[in-house]
Chains A and B, each alone.
Chain A
């Protein structure tokens, strides 16, 4: 079994995700998955903080179906979701390069595929 570590991944800066779902639509257009199956899904998170104030955030979650669009990246293009994110929340690259950018600001997640 190939246990190779993933080389490429996504740096997701969800602070600026507006919940527009354009990444989901881009993914749907790129592949022909069944209804409900997407390489990426946007989740809405609502919470009341301990101090009573309300918290509402969105997070684009790359699912098990995500292959990081190898047919596009091979040609030098970005994965479909990254390309179509109007808030530029996502960055595609080598995980070791992206890792250097994490922590420069809060609310970032580094993701590697299966």
Chain B
């Protein structure tokens, strides 16, 4: 597992992921920090941050070199770990070194890693097919070199002939999500609020950064945003701890009463765990108590295999009564 925190980060129904991880013979985790997920690893390799490694950034423009500014003992960049592994899997690996790999990635630019490093960054030269506008007019998008888009008809297809061939709805359309008051009125009766998640925190990126004191100070608790009317009908005030519950369980969040959400929905913060708490099981840095993903079912993608009910589940909310818990 490489910089992945599926117990507290992206995994739905994370207790199932715990069971899956426990079934594996040998688990290696590569990460910057100890997380709930690294608790299941037999070996944890400390990864180098971007300040501690040489690399290239070749997506979008400009082309850039990442230059190592410092070293921390015992930490290795992901690319070096992967390179060592690749050499074991394939003794005839075409690259001799990580720098050779960078040179290969960069070869279309006419520069090698050393040269890019000296330049620091570079824009594509005039007329390079990676950058110009109106590429469809110049025949730069299609394999046959003809003007047009890379579709069977060469046109921009609002009616997608490829999707039709694959047995999917060819036109843009609306499909009712699997757990709403319309698709599941039986559930909505018991869980009347729309449960939405994924609001970005100004302090954190997804499940990261909870252990950085300055950032944690800005956004200390996992919150659920509730409209003032809804909060008042539930008898909940700003700053009170509430349970967010559905058929998969209940999780604890701090109410943030705000007009930023509609009265019929609540917005639950995601990616929460508590690096300051006990890491060993059963606590797992508090990963089971305020993790909205425990309320999100696995396996409910759309027909295309895409999408999940992150924004439109159902829940109910009630106050946490500390003496009763």
**A residues at B contact (CB < 8 Å):** 19-21, 24-25, 28-29, 35-36, 46, 48, 54, 56
Indicate whether B162 reaches chain A with its CB closer than 8 angstroms.
Answer: no
* CB–CB A54/B259 < 8 A: yes
Chain B residue contacts of A35, Cβ below 8 A = 213, 217
Contacts A/B (CB < 8 Å), 11 sampled: A19-B202, A20-B202, A21-B202, A21-B218, A24-B218, A25-B215, A25-B218, A29-B214, A35-B217, A46-B258, A54-B259
Contact A21 to B259, CB < 8 A, known contacts A28-B214, A35-B217:
no
Contacts of B203 in A (CB 8 A): 21
Instruction: Report B-chain residues with C-beta under 8 Å of the C-beta of A56.
Output: 259-260
Beta-carbon contacts of B182-222 to A below 8 Å, as 1s and 0s?
00000000000000000000110000000001110110000
Q: Please give me the residue from chain B that is nearest to A44 by CB atom.
A: B258
Residues of B within 8 A of A36 (CB): 217
A-B residue pairs, 4 tightest by C-beta: A54-B259, A28-B214, A20-B202, A21-B218
Do A25 and B260 form a contact, CB below 8 Å, given A19-B202, A20-B202?
no
Query: 8 Å CB contacts to A: which residues of B93-150?
Result: none
Which residues of B sit under 8 angstroms from A46, Cβ to Cβ? 258-259
In the assembled complex, which residues on chain A have CB atoms less than 8 Å from the CB atom of B213? 35
Question: Which residues of B are found within 8 Å of A28, using beta-carbon distances?
Answer: 214, 217
Question: Main SS of chain A's interface residues?
Answer: mixed
Chain B residues near A24 (CB, 8 Å)?
218
CB proximity of A12 to chain B, nearest CB, Å = 18
A29 to B212, CA, bound (A): 12
Query: What are the residues of chain A within 8 A of B214 when measuring CB–CB?
Result: 25, 28-29
Closest to A26 in B: B214
Give the docked Cα–Cα distance between A21 and B203 (Å).
8
Within 8 Å CB of B202, what residues of A? 19-21
B56: shortest Cβ distance to chain A, in Å?
A: 26
**Bound: A19/B200 CA distance, A:** 12
Most chain A beta-carbon contacts within 10 A, residue among B202, B203, B213, B215: B202
A109–B153 Cα distance when bound, in Å, is 58
- Shortest distance between the CB of A26 and any CB in chain B (Å): 10
Known: A20-B202, A54-B259. 13 other contacts (CB 8 A): A19-B202, A21-B202, A24-B218, A25-B214, A25-B215, A25-B218, A28-B214, A29-B214, A35-B213, A35-B217, A46-B258, A46-B259, A56-B259
Min CB–CB distance A51 → chain B (angstroms): 14
Complex: how many Å from CA A54 to CA B218?
A: 25
User: For residues 212 through 240 of chain B, which have their beta carbon under 8 Å from a beta carbon of chain A?
Assistant: 213-215, 217-218
Please, how many angstroms separate the alpha-carbon atoms of A32 and B97 in the complex? Answer: 44
CB contacts (< 8 Å) of A54 on chain B: these are: 259
Of all chain A residues, the one with the shortest Cβ separation from B215 is A25
How far is it, in angstroms, between the C-alpha of A47 and the C-alpha of B217 when the chains are bound? 25
A48 to B257, CA, bound (A): 14
Minimum C-beta distance from A58 to chain B (A): 10
The distance from the CB of A41 to the nearest CB of chain B, in whole angstroms, is: 10
Question: Which residue of the partner chain A has the closest CB to B219?
Answer: A21
Instruction: Considering the complex, give the chain A residue whose CB is closest to the CB of B259.
Output: A54
The smallest beta-carbon distance between A19 and chain B, in angstroms, is: 6
Closest partner residue, chain B, to A29 (CB atom): B214
- Distance of B34 from chain A, by nearest CB (Å): 23
